[in-house]
Amino acid sequence: MPATLTIHDGRLIKGNETRAAILQVAIQIASEEGLEGLSLGRLADDVGMSKSGLFAHFRSKEELQLAVVDAARDLFIEQVVTPARKLPAGIKRLRKLADTWLAYAQGHVFRGGCFFVAASMEFDSRPGRVRDRVCELMAGWLAALAAEVRQAKANKELAPNADEQQIAFEFNAQMMGANWAFQLLKDKKAFARARTAMMERLESFAPHRRH
């Protein structure tokens, strides 16, 4: 930290660091027990703070839940999206997104598997700001997959009849299926199966095949 920072700035940084540390604990609780299981009382115990200390960072349970969703999004981008962005847009990046996603879901970034699969399921019947935020992020993820399919068609890496919405839907489904089979059934082959499904599906749209 530069020595020229004022006390005010110093306090702000400390506050932000504390907030980030709290969120890391909260993400892990939420990934296993759900965002609704994330009470301020429980979290205060786990991070060793008073409930009123926590209230200084998050004014309500909903604010905490929204902050956790955004922190999980940052982790997702860092683990899944950023490594894939190093590859050219199109089929290479699409394949890489499949691989980084599968690595993320089995790599114990979140104790209870993919945070967003769990949060989606938990909030699909609970209207409100948390549901809206999860929805927006998930729609963005499907759109990101679809954009790579579109680019792959433009690059002539996939045949013109490859439907980007369809393929984005299928990729997301295979990822969810893998996360489910690994978390519930402890099926270690689940990630390889999802990968096979996605890669063979892309192969079926290879431009040199007859359609």
- The interface with a copy of itself within residues 39-68 (CB under 8 A) comprises none
Maximum C-alpha span of the chain: 69
Which residue's structure tokens are 């690059």? Answer: 155
Give the SS3 label for residue 77.
helix
Q: Which is nearer to a copy of itself, 85 or 108 (CB)?
A: 108
Q: Which stretch binds a copy of itself (CB under 8 A): 59-67, 82-90, 117-125, 149-157?
A: 117-125
C-alpha dihedral sign at 156, 161, 167, 170: negative
Q: DSSP E strands: which ranges in 28-110?
A: none
Nearest by Cα to 120 from 97, 98, 141, 94: 141
Q: Which stretch binds a copy of itself (CB under 8 A): 2-10, 66-74, 78-86, 164-172?
A: 164-172
Q: Which stretch binds a copy of itself (CB under 8 A): 17-25, 65-73, 77-85, 116-124?
A: 116-124
- Say whether residue 196 binds a copy of itself (CB under 8 A): yes
Nearest by Cα to 116 from 82, 70, 84, 148: 70
Q: Which is nearer to a copy of itself, 5 or 143 (CB)?
A: 143
Contact 37, 27 (CB under 8 A): no
- Say whether residue 194 binds a copy of itself (CB under 8 A): yes
List the one residue from 22, 68, 76, 122 that touches a copy of itself (CB under 8 A).
122
- The interface with a copy of itself within residues 76-105 (CB under 8 A) comprises none
Burial class (CB in 10 A: 0-12, 13-18, 19+), 179: buried
List the one residue from 113, 150, 153, 158 that touches a copy of itself (CB under 8 A).
113
Residue 63: both structure tokens together: 């604010």
113 DSSP assignment: S
- The interface with a copy of itself within residues 8-27 (CB under 8 A) comprises none
Task: Summarize as ranges the residues that interact with a copy of itself (CB under 8 A).
Answer: 31-34, 111-113, 117-118, 120-126, 131, 134-135, 138-139, 142, 165-166, 169-170, 172-174, 176-178, 180-181, 183-185, 189-190, 193-194, 196-197, 200-201, 204
